[in-house]
């Protein structure tokens, strides 16, 4: 059911753009046939109240696009769809301003909750022009406004007090599809602004939550190759057949305000940010997902804290790429996390460092890894996933530490290294080395002792451990080379420690 939970401006545009792609042509009848054939091939059922040609326009009434899987069901009802032949080899599609949507998510095993959600999509001035040929069709969409609202929700039959609204303004998009072999789809979309608000209450009246915000300057591109005859409900089979999707999205700025309260606490938070990005890729070669943001500020007030919390980041980023297909050959993976130049307010510093003994430089965390692994299962095959229980889905073959950096309160730890793994025994045996450097570590320990945060005996133990694993190479600078050798030993600067 997750594929339905994000329905909104982008999803509606994708729905409208995708429907006519398979058999786009110059007549309204052929365009409508393309819509029904397309969704029928994807396992949906399409029903209509009536279809009637009125002059140059095919009028379709009460069209319902519905699907059902073990995990739930989905339906969208279009009161009227109008397909007008423009007389120049193009067809214009318009439709009702209100589109009811029903979604049901139900557990397939023991436990879980059944969630029944009603939604309402509204639009004003939406128009799509279909041109080209059945083998290479282009669709141009404009919509001054598209909005989505939750129109009722129940969990296990009990009403949930939830309000959710989202509105996208200034929507434009171009969509192109080639159907010579399978369906190759490419799209570009732009949205001037997205506004949202959400509010929820505890069913027992013990608390409530609300939030509102906006994003501006949204844009995105996506590409997909969908082989003929694939069942999209069986994601593993679709990937093995050649399903390939990727997309990248960006926004220029945004922010939100959030409030929460219960019987004990209250919280108010607000945030603003500069531009950001989001990207994804999925094929049998792997799954990748990433995002970034710049110039983020967060301000929070909580009744349980005596001072407000103010924080900012110059940059945040994450990027994960994982193999998803079983195979004897090693496949690549990678992971990146970046939190750059974290700053917090003086009031928060004063709670644990009232005499300002610690340097208040911005803090940074960077972890950049890659490697290879042999996958024992196909990740998207539920039956194969059950066979491994809680075991890892594959065997680690190599690991490269491209960049490790932790800097805060006057100390900085950095590292790089590379290892391979021998999986012939009961446990993987690493082979390789990691080089580490710590700057300012002893100075930080001295300050923590002076502040009374670390007892002297514990500080002495920490210094002894650093002396065991590292050697001094400069003023308050320690370096360490940790090696994993063929004999199974672990060495620090040439001395065996295990």
> Tens-digit pLDDT profile for the chain (498 aa)?
333 333 344 445 545 544 444 444 568 888 788 778 767 766 789 999 999 999 999 999 999 999 988 888 999 999 999 999 999 989 999 999 999 999 999 877 667 789 999 999 999 999 999 887 767 778 899 999 999 999 889 988 888 889 999 999 999 999 887 777 777 889 999 999 999 999 998 877 788 999 999 999 999 999 988 888 888 778 999 999 999 999 999 999 999 999 999 888 999 999 999 999 999 999 999 999 999 999 999 999 999 888 899 999 999 999 999 999 999 999 999 999 999 999 999 988 988 888 888 999 999 999 999 999 999 999 999 888 888 877 889 999 999 999 999 999 999 999 999 999 999 888 889 999 999 999 999 999 999 998 888 899 999 998 888 888 899 999 999 999 999 999 889 999 988 887
Residues 6+ away with beta carbon under 8 Å from 138:
130, 131, 132, 174, 175, 176
Tokens 């109008």 correspond to what residue?
82
Has residue 480 been placed in a domain? no
Residue 313 domain-assigned?
no
What integer pLDDT is reported at residue 11 of this predicted model?
A: 45
**Is residue 431 one of the residues assigned to a domain?**
no
pLDDT of residue 36: 80
Q: List, in order, residues 6 or more apart from 272 with CB less than 8 Å away.
A: 253, 254, 255, 296, 297
The answer to whether residue 37 is domain-embedded is: yes
Residue 121: predicted pLDDT: 96
- Distance, CA of 17 to CA of 38 (rounded, Å): 12
pLDDT for res 374: 95
- 248 neighbors 221 (Cβ within 8 angstroms): yes
CA distances from 96 to 62, 274, 429 (A): 10, 36, 63
| CA distance linking residue 424 with residue 435, whole number of Å | 26
Residues 479 and 471 sit within 8 Å (Cβ to Cβ): yes
Contacts (Cβ under 8 Å, ≥6 apart) of 441:
411, 413, 466, 476, 478
Query: What pLDDT is stored for residue 16 in this prediction?
Result: 52
In angstroms, rounded to a whole number, what is the distance separating the alpha carbons of residues 429 and 318?
29
Distance, in Å, from the CA atom of 388 to the CA atom of 403, rounded to the nearest integer, reads: 32
CB proximity list for 475: less than 8 A, separation 6 or greater: none
Compute the distance between CA of residue 453 and CA of residue 357 in angstroms, rounded to an integer.
12
Q: Cβ of 183: how many Cβ atoms within 10 Å?
A: 19
Rounded Cα gap, residues 192 and 143, in angstroms: 11
Q: Considering just the CA atoms, what is the radius of gyration of the chain in Å?
A: 28
Domain assignment present for 153: yes
Cross-strand bridge partners of residue 131: 138
Q: Which two tokens stand for residue 320?
A: 């994960």
- Residue 355 pLDDT: 87
Q: How many CB atoms lie within 10 A of CB 128?
A: 22
Number of domains in the chain: 1
Secondary structure (3-state) at 346: helix
User: 482 with 491: CB under 8 angstroms?
Assistant: yes
Q: In degrees rounded to 5, what are phi and psi of residue 441?
A: -65, -45
CB 104 within 8 A of CB 126: no
Residue 440 to residue 77: CA distance in whole angstroms: 64
Smallest CA-to-CA distance from 276 within 222, 320, 220, 321 is with 220
Q: pLDDT at position 26, please?
A: 61
> Which pair of tokens denotes residue 46?
């399409």
Domain limits at 13?
1-175+195-201
Helices 441-450 & 456-469 angle (0-180, nearest 10): 170
Query: Which residue bears the tokens 């007008």?
Result: 84
Structure tokens at 440: 């300012």
Residue 475 lies in a domain: no
Domain membership of residue 277 (yes or no) is no
Q: Which residues contact 374 (CB under 8 A, 6 or more apart)?
A: 327, 328, 329, 330, 331, 394, 395, 397
**Domain annotation covers residue 416:** no
């Amino acid at each position: 059911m997750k594929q339905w939970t994000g329905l909104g401006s982008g999803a509606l545009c994708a729905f409208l753009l995708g429907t006519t792609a398979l058999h786009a042509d110059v007549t309204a009848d052929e365009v409508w046939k393309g819509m029904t054939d397309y969704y029928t091939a994807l396992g949906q059922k399409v029903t209509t109240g009536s279809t009637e040609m009125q002059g140059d326009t095919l009028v379709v009434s009460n069209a319902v696009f519905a699907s059902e899987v073990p995990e739930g069901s989905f339906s969208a009802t279009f009161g009227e769809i109008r397909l007008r032949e423009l007389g120049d080899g193009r067809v214009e599609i318009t439709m009702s301003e209100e589109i009811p949507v029903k979604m049901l998510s139900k557990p397939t095993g023991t436990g879980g909750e059944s969630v029944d959600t009603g939604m309402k999509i509204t639009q004003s001035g939406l128009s799509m022009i279909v041109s080209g040929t059945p083998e290479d069709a282009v669709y141009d969409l404009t919509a001054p406004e598209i909005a989505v609202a939750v129109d009722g929700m129940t969990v296990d039959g009990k009403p949930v007090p939830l309000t959710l609204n989202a509105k996208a303004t200034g929507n434009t998009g171009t969509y192109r599809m080639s159907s010579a072999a399978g369906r190759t789809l490419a799209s570009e979309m732009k949205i001037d602004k997205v506004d949202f608000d959400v509010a929820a209450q505890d069913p027992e009246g013990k608390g409530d939550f609300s939030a509102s915000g906006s994003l501006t300057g949204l844009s995105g591109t996506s590409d997909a190759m969908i082989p003929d005859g694939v069942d999209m409900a069986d994601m593993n089979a679709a990937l093995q057949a050649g399903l390939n999707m990727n997309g990248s999205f960006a926004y220029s700025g945004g922010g939100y305000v959030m409030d929460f309260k219960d019987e004990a606490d209250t919280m108010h938070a607000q945030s603003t940010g500069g531009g950001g990005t989001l990207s994804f890729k999925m094929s049998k070669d792997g799954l990748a997902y990433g995002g970034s943001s710049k110039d983020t500020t967060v301000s929070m007030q909580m009744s349980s804290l005596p001072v407000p919390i103010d924080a900012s980041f110059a940059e945040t980023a994450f990027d994960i790429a994982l193999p998803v297909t079983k195979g004897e050959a090693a496949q690549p993976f990678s992971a990146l996390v970046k939190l750059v130049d974290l700053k917090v307010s003086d009031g928060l510093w004063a709670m644990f460092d009232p005499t300002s003994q610690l340097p208040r430089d911005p803090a940074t965390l960077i972890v950049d890894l890659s490697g290879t692994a042999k996958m024992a299962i196909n990740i998207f095959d539920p039956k194969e996933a059950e066979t491994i229980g809680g075991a890892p889905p594959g065997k680690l073959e190599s690991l490269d530490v491209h960049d490790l950096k932790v800097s805060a309160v006057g100390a900085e730890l950095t590292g790089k290294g590379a290892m391979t793994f021998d999986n012939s025994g009961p446990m993987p045996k690493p082979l390789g080395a990691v080089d580490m450097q710590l700057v300012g570590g002893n100075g930080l320990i001295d300050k923590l002792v002076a502040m009374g945060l670390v007892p002297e005996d514990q500080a002495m133990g920490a210094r002894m451990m650093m002396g065991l694993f590292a050697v001094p190479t400069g003023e308050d600078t320690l370096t360490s080379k940790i090696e994993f050798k063929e004999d199974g030993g672990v060495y620090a600067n040439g001395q065996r420690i295990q």
